[in-house]
């Protein structure tokens, strides 16, 4: 990973992409873990991007001139983190991202990736490769790595990456060189795979564990930058675990499904094109107070409301209400009221639910308005205090400038009057000029106050835009992060932590034993 066929080298490029990925994974909970045959968690799950970035930056400048790589072992072991986090023996959803030069130097183990896990590789390097430079403690060049008397040429092994396409169901890889960073493509790949997992039949079998989830997955990034640490610590891999955005609630208990649900699922397995069976299953879930699963089925199957009957759409609207999506429920019930033929009982249900949905929407709007007004009031008061201080400073500065200018004008005028009218006195003229200057000064102050007032009113009248989609929310978080300045004390702590991390890893490395008979790059 020290080959310089990409700038500055493969290892530094991998860390650069990792830090870029972290900064773009806004809103996610991220955990940083170092592992080999033993593992050590550096950072528990956190959305503190600055802390995580400091931890990754702490790996820069480390001596990795020796070490092997066992990609297969790293991937197989990383799968255990999914199980640990979920507290289950099964992996319901996950993604793995591997940064490597794709050279498998240890005994290759079988890679067994469950179908529910998506995996992406980022191959760092060139197909032509290059020699491995060796440098001293202070960066001085000491030559190139050799093995059995021959210079080692490390090449990106794209054939290894291609071979994985037939072994892993959900797989994709990128080749990265000096000037490309595929962060956006990687995030899009994982999001697309998650959306595909909600395809026909898949979501109605899985238990509901997370409510209001936007991107429910655990994401592991593995760096196959493996350090030789002697017998006890042979392989060191950097791992990030990223959990989903959204509000995580207490996981649902595994409840045995009713006989009716099981029977309907068996019918669907034999006739999965029968839409009425899906509607029956969703309706059964509603009767069992399981609105989550019912809502998932309705969202998947009802793409054109004109094709479905009033009863199915009423149930769909009910599921939306129970899920707190009041605006969507209101639209559904209004559509049914306008376009579907109903009996009296159905009409009453639709009418009552329209009132309920509208009431909840109004209540939510009122609450949001009150919170907005309270926030605006606090910001306004704070801003007024700041502006008052600024005005006082500006007034003091303006008065000083005006006094200096007035003195200069008077001095110049006095000299001119003295030259032209040596024997004449004008007592009333000076008083008139002073009154005029004072009036001008007062007028300027009033004009400035009026301009600031108008500017402030214009800013207050600007409508506040609220992000609606996932992308808009992510962009909003990014903008807020740019406005946040890290306190000097916290920055010092991050720097000290980075230096401490380097010392710990260097101390472990200093005790390594020599092993000249094996590949270590």
Where do the structural domains in the chain lie, given as residue ranges? 10-251+486-510, 259-364
> What is the torsional sign of CA 57, 58, 64, 69?
negative
Tens digit of pLDDT for each residue in 168-177?
888 999 998 8
**Region 57-84 average pLDDT:** 70
Residues 33, 177: Cα–Cα separation, whole Å: 26
In angstroms, the Cα distances linking 330 to 8, 172, 343 are 57, 41, 20
User: Minimal CA–CA distance to 515: which of 233, 153, 228?
Assistant: 228
Q: What is the pLDDT of residue 335?
A: 93
> Which residues touch 115 (CB under 8 Å, ≥6 apart)?
169, 170
Task: Kindly indicate the confidence band of residue 332, based on its pLDDT and cuts at 50, 70 and 90.
Answer: very high
Mean pLDDT of the chain: 72
| Tens-digit pLDDT profile for residues 155-199 | 888 888 888 887 888 899 999 888 888 888 988 888 787 666 654
Q: Which candidate, 328, 309, 308, 306, places its Cα nearest to that of 319?
A: 328
Only one residue has tokens 């290894």, namely: 160
Whether the predicted pLDDT of 104 surpasses 90: no
Report pLDDT digits (tens) over 251-287.
Answer: 434 456 788 888 888 888 888 788 889 899 988 888 8
C-alpha span between 260 and 288 (Å, rounded): 10
Task: Please tell me the distance from the alpha carbon of residue 340 to that of residue 316, in angstroms, as a whole number.
Answer: 14
Whether residue 250 has pLDDT greater than 50: no
Q: Round to whole Å and give the CA distance between 303 and 287.
A: 23
H or E stretch at 311: helix 310-322
Residues 111-142 have pLDDT tens digits of 778 888 888 888 888 888 888 888 776 667 77
CATH superfamily of the domain spanning 259-364 = Tetratricopeptide repeat domain (1.25.40.10)
Q: Token pair for residue 372?
A: 């907005």
Check whether 33 has a pLDDT greater than 50. yes
- Give how far Cα 80 sits from Cα of 85, 250, 429, Å: 9, 21, 93
- Residue 208's pLDDT is 34
Residue range 10-251+486-510, CATH number: 3.40.50.410
Taking residues 451-462, what's their average pLDDT? Answer: 61
Rounded to an integer, what distance in angstroms lies between the CA atom of residue 171 and that of residue 195?
A: 15
């Amino acid at each position: 990973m020290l080959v310089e066929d990409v700038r500055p080298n493969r290892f530094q490029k991998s860390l650069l992409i990792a830090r870029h990925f972290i900064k773009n994974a806004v809103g996610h909970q991220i955990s940083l873990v170092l592992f080999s045959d033993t593992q050590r968690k550096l950072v528990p799950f956190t959305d503190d991007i600055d802390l995580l970035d400091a931890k990754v930056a702490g790996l820069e400048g480390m001596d990795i001139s020796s070490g092997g790589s066992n990609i297969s072992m790293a991937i197989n072991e990383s799968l255990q983190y999914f199980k640990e986090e979920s507290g289950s023996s099964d992996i319901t959803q996950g993604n793995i991202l591997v940064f490597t030069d794709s050279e498998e130097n240890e005994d290759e183990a079988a890679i067994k990736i469950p179908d529910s896990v998506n995996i992406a590789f980022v191959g760092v390097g060139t197909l032509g490769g290059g020699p491995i430079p060796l440098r001293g403690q202070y960066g001085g060049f000491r030559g190139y790595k050799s093995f059995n008397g021959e210079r080692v040429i490390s090449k990106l092994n794209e054939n290894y990456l291609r071979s994985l396409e037939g072994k892993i169901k959900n797989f994709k890889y990128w080749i990265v060189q000096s000037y490309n960073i595929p962060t956006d493509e990687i995030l899009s790949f994982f999001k697309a795979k998650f959306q595909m997992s909600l395809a026909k039949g898949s979501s109605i079998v899985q238990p509901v564990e997370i409510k209001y989830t936007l991107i429910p997955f655990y994401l592991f990034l593995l760096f196959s930058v493996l350090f030789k640490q002697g017998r006890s610590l042979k392989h060191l891999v950097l791992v990030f675990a990223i959990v989903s955005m959204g509000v995580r609630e207490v996981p649902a208990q595994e409840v045995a499904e009713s006989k009716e649900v099981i029977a309907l699922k068996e019918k669907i397995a034999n006739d999965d094109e029968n839409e009425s069976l899906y509607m029956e299953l969703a309706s059964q879930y509603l009767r069992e107070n399981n609105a989550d699963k019912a809502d998932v089925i309705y969202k998947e199957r009802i793409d054109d409301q004109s094709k479905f009957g009033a009863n199915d759409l009423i149930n769909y609207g009910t599921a939306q209400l129970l899920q707190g999506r009041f605006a969507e429920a209101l639209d559904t019930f209004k559509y049914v009221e306008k376009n579907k033929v109903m009996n009296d009982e159905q009409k009453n249900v639709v009418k009552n639910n329209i009132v309920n949905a509208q009431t909840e929407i109004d209540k939510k709007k009122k609450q949001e308005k009150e919170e907005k007004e309270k926030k605006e009031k606090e910001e306004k008061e704070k801003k007024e205090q700041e502006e008052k201080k600024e005005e006082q400073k500006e007034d003091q500065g303006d008065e000083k400038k005006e006094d200096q200018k007035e003195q200069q004008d008077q001095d110049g005028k006095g000299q001119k009057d003295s030259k032209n009218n040596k024997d004449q006195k004008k007592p009333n003229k000076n008083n008139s000029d002073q009154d005029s200057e004072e009036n001008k000064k007062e007028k300027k102050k009033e004009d400035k106050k009026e301009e600031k007032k108008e500017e402030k009113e214009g800013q207050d009248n600007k409508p506040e835009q609220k992000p609606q989609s996932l992308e808009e929310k992510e962009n909003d978080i990014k903008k807020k992060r740019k406005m946040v300045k890290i306190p000097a004390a916290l920055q010092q702590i991050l720097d000290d932590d980075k230096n401490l991390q380097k010392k710990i890893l260097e101390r472990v490395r200093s005790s390594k034993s020599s092993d000249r008979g094996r590949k270590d790059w």
